[in-house]
Amino acid sequence: METLIEFLNSTALNKYIMSEAWLWPTLEIFHFFGLCLLLGSVIIFDLRALGVAREVPLIRIETFMVSAAVGFAINLITGIVFIIGDPDRYLPNIAFRIKMILILVAGLNVLYYTWRLRPQVLRGLEGKDLSGGARYVAALSLTLWTCVIVLGRIIPYVEK
């Protein structure tokens, strides 16, 4: 960990991120925008699976997987730049570490969906016909992303 922090601190990108005053707030703005896009999409997708807005054809819901992926990509990129720019702040931080673990779990949840549920959805199955715990997958996804946002927001307040 120490070595990684030292290495990141020695990179040219680290120097650049820290030398441009406008860059950090700009990245933060993009990170917040990506977060809105991701959670907005996740809400549409998961609440539909939990029984809200049944008029939305489940077979078409993948549109919101795409917007979620775009939001996630924006945040992955800006997030990596944050880490390179200020590794001492993030890598040892407990809220940051739990946040990363929860993102991994959310990723596994998506993989499970893709493997077990997506084929059924694409066959046109809905509601009770879906086997494999669609509702649990949706509830878990909403819970995880909510926690990810809260953990991200409290990173500065749990520094030692």
Contacts with another protein by CB under 8 A lie at 25, 28-29, 32-33, 35-41, 43-44, 47, 52-53, 55-57, 60-61, 63-64, 67, 146, 149-150, 152-154, 157
Question: Which spans in 11-133 are helix H?
Answer: 12-19, 23-49, 63-85, 87-90, 94-112, 118-122
CB of 154 to another protein, least distance (A): 5
Burial track 87-117 (b if 16+ CB lie within 10 A, e otherwise) = beebbebebbeebbebbeebeebbebbeeeb
CA pseudo-torsion sign 11, 14, 20, 22: positive
CB of 3 to another protein, least distance (A): 31
CB of 38 or CB of 84, closer to another protein: 38
CB of 144 to another protein, least distance (A): 13
Give the tokens for residue 81. 């730049």
CB of 32 or CB of 112, closer to another protein: 32
CB of 104 to another protein, least distance (A): 20
CB of 8 or CB of 148, closer to another protein: 148
Distance of alpha carbon 107 from alpha carbon 13, whole angstroms: 28
CB of 54 or CB of 115, closer to another protein: 54
